[in-house]
Amino acid sequence: MSSDRIIKLELSRLNLHLPERRLSLKEALLSPRPQVAARDGSVHVFKRGELEFLAGLLPEADRDKLPLPILIALEPKLGRGTARISGEVEVKVVSQVLGKEAAAGELLIYRPEVAILRRKLPTTTQYLFMW
């Protein structure tokens, strides 16, 4: 088996915690028990307080555009301790949470910022492992 294939297999195992389908913030707010099914068969539940916090950061028109959980992409090519946030609405929200200048569609954040983001949004963010 090639090393690329081994890496892809290991990454797919590392990412089994990710949802089969992401939920919009609007859908999550309307749900009596907001949750998503993960690829490993488990259920990931969102805390209502986090959903309301996120709703307060966005105009109502954007709530159906924010997919949850927000993915924090960890890629070795970005450098140690660096993560990527992708998506226009995701970047808007994360930049507000961290007090950073928003870029168009992509935001690089660093280990201390990842820690702040995960502390403030533990159930509405998840790590995505990439190569």
Give burial (CB, 10 Å; 0-12/13-18/19+) of 25. Answer: buried
The percentage of residues in the chain with a pLDDT greater than 90, rounded to a whole number, is 79
Q: What are the tens digits of pLDDT across the range 70-103? A: 999 999 899 899 999 999 999 999 999 999 987 7
Q: What is the largest CA-CA distance in the chain?
A: 49
In the predicted structure, residue 10 carries a pLDDT above the cut 90:
no
Q: Which helix (H) or strand (E) holds 24?
A: strand 23-24
pLDDT at 103: 76
pLDDT at 8: 77
pLDDT at 109: 96
Using 50, 70 and 90 to split pLDDT, how confident is the model at 7?
confident
Q: Are 68 and 21 in contact (CB under 8 A)?
A: no
Helices (H), the chain: 3-14, 25-30, 48-57, 88-98, 111-120
State the average pLDDT for the chain. 94
Tally DSSP H helices, then E strands, for the chain.
Answer: 5, 8
Helices (H), 15-110: 25-30, 48-57, 88-98
